[in-house]
Amino acid sequence: MKFKSLFLLPILAIPVTLSLGACTRVESDSKPMSSEAVTPVSSETILTQNNGMMSGNHGMMMDLGPADAEYDLRFIDGMIPHHKGAVKMSEQVLQKSNNPEVKKLAEEIIKAQEKEIAQMQEWRKTWYPDAKDAIMYHAPMGHSMSMSKEDMESMMMMADLGPADAGFDQRFVEAMIPHHEGALIMAKDAQVKSKRPEIQQLAQAILVSQAAEIKLMKKWLKP
């Protein structure tokens, strides 16, 4: 199955951050801009820029920090909301898509990632019984810190895929590919830094399943 035409993403609710817990400031120039300097921006340009920023920021956004005593907890606390974002986007597919292949993929994502969420929640409860708030690594400060609501939402990388129109399926695919790529970054990091066999096994499962799904979705996008 391939998409016969390109339906561009409108403005998505995919958060783009430089890093978890990091802040950026945009300063506006007080000098007024002439009307001649204003160039209309197409939806295609918006999509290209948005996808480029997402791809470029995956590494920073998914920084789990060093292989210290809290590494596995940070991995769990990062991967759980990330998985939840994938599940929520896939649920939109079941509600809005009429494409059986896309719906099948969404069902597989939901089944696999809900199972992994439950497993990670159990590990957290068993391994870190005193841990309360979800934590993340704050690179500028060089240590772990509690996640804010905004940090949690950023980790989900969830997109509003819009209405059930002719472009819905492609919007889902174009949002899920970078989402999966974010999971691969964390899984590869865990393979290097985690000493727990359970985390290693989960990381390998994520790499195998989500790399295969990325390959399939990219195939659908080919003209």
How does residue 37 score in pLDDT terms, banded at 50, 70 and 90?
very low
Q: Within the chain, what is the greatest distance between any pair of CA atoms?
A: 63
Interatomic CA distance for residues 151 and 9, integer angstroms: 24
Helix (H/G/I), strand (E/B), else coil: 143: strand
Give the model confidence (pLDDT) of 86-96 as tens digits.
999 999 999 99
Tens of pLDDT, residue by residue over 167-195, are: 999 999 999 999 999 999 999 999 999 99
Most confidently predicted of 15-24, 38-47, 142-151: 142-151
Query: What proportion of the chain, given as a percentage, has pLDDT over 70?
Result: 73
Residue 158, pLDDT above cutoff 70: yes
Residue 75 contacts residue 194 (beta carbons within 8 Å) = yes
The pLDDT assigned to 49 comes to 40
Give the chain's domains with CATH numbers.
Answer: 56-221 (1.20.1260.10)
Q: Say if residue 64 is exposed, middle or buried (CB neighbours under 10 Å; 0-12, 13-18, 19+).
A: buried
Phi-psi label, residue 67: left if phi above 0, alpha if psi -120 to 50, beta otherwise: beta
Vertex 117, ends 129 and 17: CA angle to 5°?
95
Cα–Cα distance, 150 to 140 (Å, whole number)? 18
Helices (H), the chain: 43-61, 71-96, 100-127, 149-156, 168-193, 197-221
Question: Residue 196: is it exposed, middle or buried by C-beta count within 10 angstroms (0-12/13-18/19+)?
Answer: middle
Res. 139 pLDDT band, cuts 50 70 90? confident
pLDDT computed for residue 215 by the predictor: 98
Q: Round to whole Å and give the CA distance between 67 and 30.
A: 45
Average model confidence (pLDDT) across the chain: 81
Q: Which residues share a beta bridge with 137?
A: 144
Average pLDDT value for residue range 102-120: 99
